[in-house]
Amino acid sequence: MKRYSIKMRASNETDGVKNHISGAEKIVTENELEEYCASLMKRALYHSKGKPDFINIKVEEIKEEELLYLPALKVTRVETENDAEGRQVVASYLEKLGISRVDEIISIWEQSYSMRGAILLDADTLERLEPDKERGIRATYMDMDTGNAQRSRSCEEKNHFNEALVLATKVVNHPNILAELCISDDPDYVTGYIASKETGYVRITKLKPFGSPNGGRVFLFRGNDKEKEECIKYLQEQKVLVRMNEVQ
């Protein structure tokens, strides 16, 4: 059975400024294609961030030999009372990972709030490494692989956790990525995370105030220029299916 990648992005423009509303992607089989395109279209049309005036749905065939299968990261959960406490948890995990300049990293995170993609940050020099600093780096071409289990047929409603776990698993499996930090840009979603190969996926229940549209991602990188190029290529082009079987 053939597989296809579907990517959706939706935005609107106010006073000449383009605002990102929603973006999502799936890797599906041929017989799921029509249904998932329709679901993603609905997701773009009915989003809490507003009505789009631009929707793009892109479909590309994927060959089996292009796919990399990865086990999902182990998941733990830390309860926090508010965003300040949430940031302290992030700081303590960064320290555990041997990363210094933690406060500066957390403050640079804010620069990702209006971007479609993530900041790729040199963990030591704190240099931003994205070729296009307005757009950032978008990790793409990934989805969950549920094996024989039937997955939920609808993706009209975003499952923040599943989609983020898939993305984080892909991102931190690159040998030059030390960790990923993420806060959702959806105003009503306050859970965020720090993920790394070493710590797994650490969910932090409050990482921003309820109602805030401020969210974004940072990928922390350590390596040389050649490794940076390879890493960007991996994040943007490698097709990945994440095995979710053991996720509770």
The one segment of 61-69, 83-91, 170-178, 184-192 that binds ligand PML by CB under 6 A: 184-192
User: Does residue 109 belong to the site contacting ligand PML (CB under 6 A)?
Assistant: no
Question: Interface residues with Mg ion (CB under 5 A)?
Answer: 185-186
Hey, what are 245's tokens? 């079987």
Phi and psi angles of residue 145, each rounded to the nearest 5 degrees, phi first: -115, 115
> Which does residue 141 bind out of Mg ion, ligand PML, none, counting CB within 5 to 8 angstroms by kind?
none
> In this complex, which beta carbon is closest to ligand PML, that of residue 33 or of residue 78?
78
> In this complex, which beta carbon is closest to ligand PML, that of residue 29 or of residue 159?
159
Hey, what are 2's tokens? 């053939």
Q: Supply the minimum distance, in Å, between the C-beta of residue 108 and ligand PML.
A: 18
Asked if 137 contacts 118 with a C-beta cutoff of 8 angstroms, the reply is yes
User: What is the rounded CA–CA span in Å between residue 52 and residue 9?
Assistant: 10
Cβ-closest position to ligand PML: 184
Q: Supply the minimum distance, in Å, between the C-beta of residue 213 and Mg ion.
A: 9
For residue 151, how many other CB atoms are within 10 A of its CB?
Answer: 16
User: Does residue 208 belong to the site contacting ligand PML (CB under 6 A)?
Assistant: no
For residue 158, how many other CB atoms are within 10 A of its CB?
Answer: 17
> In this complex, which beta carbon is closest to ligand PML, that of residue 101 or of residue 160?
160
> Which does residue 203 bind out of ligand PML, Mg ion, none, counting CB within 5 to 8 angstroms by kind?
ligand PML
User: Does residue 193 belong to the site contacting ligand PML (CB under 6 A)?
Assistant: yes
> In this complex, which beta carbon is closest to Mg ion, that of residue 48 or of residue 76?
48
Asked if 29 contacts 3 with a C-beta cutoff of 8 angstroms, the reply is yes
User: Does residue 203 belong to the site contacting ligand PML (CB under 6 A)?
Assistant: yes
User: Does residue 206 belong to the site contacting ligand PML (CB under 6 A)?
Assistant: no
Q: Supply the minimum distance, in Å, between the C-beta of residue 229 and ligand PML.
A: 26
User: What is the rounded CA–CA span in Å between residue 244 and residue 163?
Assistant: 11
Q: Supply the minimum distance, in Å, between the C-beta of residue 148 and ligand PML.
A: 25
What DSSP string runs through 175-222? TTEEEEEEE--STT---EEEEETTTEEEEES-SS-TT----EEEEEE-
Positions 149 through 178 that interact with ligand PML (CB under 6 A)? 160-161, 164
Q: Supply the minimum distance, in Å, between the C-beta of residue 169 and ligand PML.
A: 12
User: What is the rounded CA–CA span in Å between residue 138 and residue 92?
Assistant: 26
Contacts of 98 (CB under 8 A, 6+ apart): none
Chosen residue from 191, 234, 235, 247 binding ligand PML by CB under 6 A: 191
- Enumerate the H helices of 102-154 as residue ranges: 102-109
Please work out, in degrees rounded to the nearest 5, the angle formed at the alpha carbon of residue 192 by the alpha carbons of 191 and 198: 135
Asked if 19 contacts 13 with a C-beta cutoff of 8 angstroms, the reply is yes
Return residues touching ligand PML (CB under 6 A).
160-161, 164, 182, 184, 186, 189, 191-193, 203
